[in-house]
Structure 1
Amino acid sequence: MLKYILSFVIVLAIILVAVTIGANNDQVIHFNYIVAQSELQLSTLVAILFGLGLILGWLITGFFYLKLKIKNMALNRQVKRQSQQISELTTARKAA
């Protein structure tokens, strides 16, 4: 339930930012990037850069989340293996 509320708030914030950005920024600017040049409205440029930043942020967050997930799986396997070794040692000690 919390996940749905959080995703709704994020989508609502993105829509609010997009509407705010596009409201009064109709000025045309020259944008020079590495291989070319173009004329864009300021609101369009800001929206594109905002979207790229959002996507880049999600990719970086996803990378670290995946890294932690893999580390967690490895540690869970190690705990399972060690608990199995402990139970084998305790049963061998009781038998002796």
Structure 2
Amino acid sequence: MIKFIFVFIILLAVVLVAVTVGANNDQVISFNYIVAQSELQLSTLVAILFGLGLILGWLISAFFYLKLKLKNISLNRQIKRQGKLISELNTDIAKAKQE
């Protein structure tokens, strides 16, 4: 439930930023990039760059989240293996004490 509220707040913030930027910036500017040049409204350019930044941030965050998730899985497997080894050693010690 918290996740849905968090996503809703983020989407609401993005929409508010887009509306605010789009309402005040109607100038046409020349945007030069490596292979070409475009005539865009300033509001469109800001919205595109904002969206690209948002997507890039999510991708970077997803990469690090996935990296941590895989490390967590690896460490849990290691804990299980060590737990089995400890229980085997405890049974061996108990058998040795009985003899």
**Do these two structures clear the TM 0.5 threshold for a shared fold by scoring above it?**
yes
Residue 27 of structure 2 corresponds to residue 23 of structure 1:
no
Aligned twin of 1:41: 41
Alignment: residue pair count: 96
Aligned identity (percent) is: 75
Aligned twin of 1:72: 72
Aligned twin of 2:95: 95
Any idea what the Cα deviations from partners look like across 1:4-35, whole Å, max 9, x if unmatched? Answer: 11001011011111101101100000000000
* Unpaired stretches in structure 1, ≥5 consecutive residues: none
Segments ≥4 residues shifted beyond 6 Å: none
What secondary structure, in the 3-state scheme, does the structure 1 residue paired with 2:26 have? coil
Any idea what the Cα deviations from partners look like across 1:51-92, whole Å, max 9, x if unmatched? Answer: 000000000000000000010010000001001100110011
Q: CA deviation at 1:95?
A: 1.1
Provide TM-score, normalisation by structure 1: 0.98
* Unpaired stretches in structure 2, ≥5 consecutive residues: none
For the pair shown, the structure with the greater C-alpha radius of gyration is 2
Residue 13 of structure 2 corresponds to residue 13 of structure 1:
yes
Q: Which amino acid aligns with 2:61?
A: T
What secondary structure, in the 3-state scheme, does the structure 2 residue paired with 1:38 have? strand
- What's the RMSD between the two structures over aligned residues? 0.5
